[in-house]
Structure 1
Amino acid sequence: MTEKPETPALGYEQARDELVAVVQQLETGGVGLEESIALWERGEHLATICQTWLDGARERLAAASGTDHED
């Protein structure tokens, strides 16, 4: 039996929107090193949440269509 990853507290759209804002803030610059590092870490966390949602959706689609898609 395979363990399913825990569903993230943030929804996909919320995590994606926040990730976009973080990326824009980093691209714009004007923040200090400490804040840049904190933003980067937050972005990494948000990207992981988004990937978890996408992986779960892929698994559900594969199960619904009767295919086993492992990439």
Structure 2
Amino acid sequence: MPRYDFRCRSCGATFELRRAMAQANDPAVCPEGHTDTTKLLSTVAVTGGAASSAAPAAPSGGGGCCGGGCCG
């Protein structure tokens, strides 16, 4: 189940709730009981253990931004 971050406008508390995606925009109550809250934009950092930091090679057969020479 996804986690969503919220901030209370009344007391300034930041808190996290786990809820179904269908309920992502439902109102949230802060731990202090205030209802004036806002959902925060969450950022996700993805790290990996890749052996090389080079960019992947372009696919053969024309490549380009649209995959076949229709650009430019």
- Greater share of residues in helix: 1
TM-score (norm: length of structure 1): 0.25
